[in-house]
Amino acid sequence: MSPLGIVASAGAAPLALAEHVTAQGREVFVVVLDGIADADFTTFKTTHRRVGALGAIFDDLKQAGVTEVVLSGRFTRPSLSSLQPDLRGSKIAAKALLKGDDQALKILRDEAARDGLMIIDVAEVLPSMMAGEGVLAGPPPTDDRMNAVALGARYLAASSGFDVGQACIVQGDRILAVEAAEGTDAMIARSKDLLDPSLAPAVMVKMLKPDQDPSLDPPGMGRLTIEALAEAGITLIAVQAGGVMIVDGDMALKAADKARITVIGIAPQVA
């Protein structure tokens, strides 16, 4: 079997993926994005590239014998001035930079396919890393909190056509915060000052967009997500079963148990 290519952005997800795939007997080849990826990949075969060097990245992957690639980690879209693209990167950037995230990533996917590189869903490689259905950690949720989850899920489904984020925070019947370009952690942080302590605790909902290609910008949660929720005073996170990766696995769920934060896997039709 050919090595799995991993394009590594920030956070623990790319390293966790590399470790899990290697443990199953498949080699990996990691493209470490300079200035973005922050994990230690010294025990794996790697190349280090700036994010705009797409021609070089494609060449590195092909020379390593890679045919399947997973995009992994937190990625903040760079400005054109900071991109420093190579020739191939310039051509792709010209098509993608003014598009929404989904459309930009589909352009990247199609360009990679021209070079024989298939961007695949992490669930195809390691389904065990995806959230299961039901209560995964923490206290069982009450009916009122599940009603808030359902509201958040309905909002995310309804807003998917606008190509914004994959998460929102709900307290009671009120949507407090919606993920946009700032990312999940920043959304959680800014929601702290919006919470009403006289009401039931807020919940966070994170799901794939209904029309999203799951191989592109796969949503994840992990120990750092739990820490951010605890800091903000949010005590339940609902994630799409089979659609959201639990980055740190048992470590994240144990952290949730310790913080008494409920983690629940929900079906897309929960709303």
| Domains of the chain listed by start with CATH number | 4-122 (3.40.50.20), 130-270 (3.40.140.80)
Model pTM score: 0.86
Flag whether pLDDT at 271 surpasses 50: no
Place of tokens 């952690």: 185
Q: Is the pLDDT of residue 206 over 50?
A: yes
Give the tens place of pLDDT for each residue, 38-57: 999 999 999 999 999 999 99
Note the pLDDT tens digit of each residue in 163-177: 778 999 999 999 999
Residue 55 and residue 90: Cα distance in Å, rounded? 9
Contact 99, 195 (CB under 8 A): no
Residue owning tokens 């259905």: 133
Q: What integer is the mean pLDDT of 114-141? A: 94
